[in-house]
Amino acid sequence: MSSSPEDPSYEIPLTPGEQQVSTLLLSRYDGVVPQQNGLWCAQIYNNHYLKLLGTFKSEISAARAYDSAARKLCGSDFFRNLFLTNVTIHEPNFQSMYTNEAVIDMIRDGSYEPKFIEFVWIHHPNFSYSGFVAWPTALDTIPGNLFKEMFHKELILTDMENKEVLVLPYQALFYFPPLNSKTVEVWLEFKDRRNQKWAFKYCYRSNNHSYVLTAGWDMFANEMQLCVDDIVVFYRCRDWKKCPIKILDVVDIIRGVRNTDKQWRLGEAYMHAND
């Protein structure tokens, strides 16, 4: 997947301004720089050093490497290049088994994605996949935008039995406007990856002590044909094409299990690792 940079130190001291110029202006993705030989370099700025992650055959592979490194070094508090998929949603659990240095070393030597595939196969045996493994591709982004995952919700049977309401996890409280006696409900606006706008009413239900989305959610659930085991992901999006930078919220769907036959194709997974 990658080849090691010629510089054996892998670290170059740069100022924040230099790092921003070296990435955002030269690629569609943060942390990715084109090379004269047609390859793409992935790099991440951390602790006042620019860490080189390797060179990759495609821009999207380098963007995936940056997202994986940033997830480990920065935790969930970072803006990613690519939407989460039904594979990368499990990345925090995989990375928790390794130190920062071990994750960076695996990215550099090309073993990260194969080991990640093996981890998901072993630890999520009830999850079925059809076709090749769903690594993020160029279709899993909005050009010029970076995404911070606010929270996600895996849909269960009760969510589908009452599509007019979505009960939110507690993480929503950290991102959505506060509710009180004066503000009992708020309309929230989102876009999806097709740039379609959605509006949901956000409120608190005292009968079961839950924060929920109500009006507007049923329309979204029906149009998206949501099913049990689908995962709804809410992002805070930074559009750096705008000046000043525009912040908006995005809602996306990770499709869940659609059949009971396990169709994990490791061979195709490795073949598509450098798409």
Burial-class residue 6 by CB neighbours within 10 Å (0-12, 13-18, 19+). exposed
pLDDT tens-digit readout, 63-111: 999 999 999 999 888 999 999 998 899 999 999 999 999 999 999 999 9
pLDDT at 10: 55
pLDDT tens-digit readout, 213-228: 999 999 999 999 999 9
| Start and end residues for every CATH 3.30.730.10 domain found in the chain | 2-138+267-271
pLDDT at 242: 73
pLDDT tens-digit readout, 204-263: 998 889 999 999 999 999 999 999 999 999 999 998 777 788 899 999 999 875 433 333
Instruction: Return d(Cα 46, Cα 108) in angstroms, integer.
Output: 16
CATH for 145-254 is: 2.40.330.10
Tokens of 42: 């992935």
| Start and end residues for every CATH 2.40.330.10 domain found in the chain | 145-254
Instruction: Return d(Cα 125, Cα 90) in angstroms, integer.
Output: 13
CATH for 2-138+267-271 is: 3.30.730.10
pTM score of the predicted model: 0.82
The pLDDT-based confidence of 9 (bands split at 50, 70, 90) is: very low
pLDDT at 124: 76
